[in-house]
Structure 1
Amino acid sequence: MTLTDKVAIVTGGAGGIGQGIVRHFLKEGARVLVVDIIDQAAGDELVAGFEPAANVRYLKSDISVAANAPEIVSAAVAAFGKLDVLVNNAHASKQAPIIETTQEMWDLSMGTGMYATFHLMQAAYPELKKTKGAIVNFASGAGLKGLPNQVTYAAAKEAIRGITRVAAHEWAADGVRANLVSPVALTPGIQQWSEAFPDAYAEVVAGVPLGRLGDPETDIAPVVAFLASDASQYVTGQTLMADGGSIMLH
């Protein structure tokens, strides 16, 4: 197993891509602190159904609050004794054309995306330095392509790419690596959208060379696990496209 004895924090781990990452990490031998905003009782019940349940804990926390970042890191260390991996998966935003975008929309996307990623990286750094750990952040085709109606999301994702590259340079001497995954995945939200707008969904799928959207657990999570594992010990500052070939960087 590629993540045996690794301790990871996964934000947004209660659903979608995040839950797929958590389930895969557990299969690969990791111990995981799941961070999300659903009630603590509901989160505890959810992770109790994961296997092995002894290797996972749930913490309700609002990642947009900077003061919560050190508490999240401390919770992982208290539960499992150390921290090897930080996965900044969670991000919320609202779509709108540029001329209709409000400050509230900016605050939501930057607060849960760019700022949350930065504050958690900053808080996790002392622990990751001890373990020569890894950070996996998330990019998006919305930012790489500049997709319409996604201005706050695209900007936050590109800011996260910038932060990640700076960290890759600054923290390389400490053995801490920082990379990004840019996924295309069939999450529950996308599934609902596909049912409501089948023609638009078919158009999206047609734009994926491999002919389908990725599965969070079997397609996206293994890429995240690779970047979190010692198998990628010579990889840092990179954006890996787990998108079926939708965007081919050069």
Structure 2
Amino acid sequence: MFPILFQVGPITIRSYGALVATAVLVAWLLARSESKRNKLSPALMDDFLSWGLLFGLAGARIDYVLFSDFASFLRDPFEIIAVWHGGLAIQGAILGGLVGALWFCRRRGLSFWKLADTLAPALIIGQAIGRIGCLLNGDAYGKPTDLPWAITFTDPDSLAPKGISLHPTQLYEFAWDLLVFALLRLLRRKPRAEGILFLWYAGLYSLGRFVIESFRGDQLTYRLGPYSLSTAMTLSALALVGVLLIGFLLRFRHVRNA
């Protein structure tokens, strides 16, 4: 596609970095808007932004470095911090961001679940925009296919294999993320126990990610009996189990306190 948007002298503006920055901006603006619905100050979102970005970026990069091709990063350690080349694992970003949110809420004396519910719609729309960055960069590409909607990468700077028809997995996830966003907008209209909206987000995203991973062509896999699984599929399955358990506990607590 278009890994490089434009160059100004020695400065290269890459599409991946530009879309990630756009995703952060849109997510932040939406989180500020959602905060009013949950009786949180928009200024609180401003305070959380820097910490959320720091923890999220660290988690995203650590996840990618550890579970992609760790040996190549050992050979060229500078690439570990070269996030502008691509390589941010969204599941690691979510986990890192949650750690940052827990720390932030404990420091401020806030309800973690209320903050999580506020962030859920913003997170999924940010993820959708980020997947367009992956598409332009040739990252998170799919397996070869002869389906009529297959896409082919030809740019020499693209990370995807060149000249091969591939599943547009970036667009699959983009569409799924938009659907999840729409569902969250509907679900939030009805008052619910704190944390339930976030669990809907986490569960729906993990379900879609698990399915879409089976079409990915850039993931290292391992065998589990007759099944071939990637790290992302495993994390998605674990997240689904965790969502069900936490959802049951929150529901039980809500009923008991009613």
TM range (shorter): 0.3 to 0.5
User: Structure 2 length normalisation: TM-score?
Assistant: 0.33
User: Structure 1 length normalisation: TM-score?
Assistant: 0.33
Bigger radius of gyration:
2
Higher normalized helix content (fraction of residues):
2
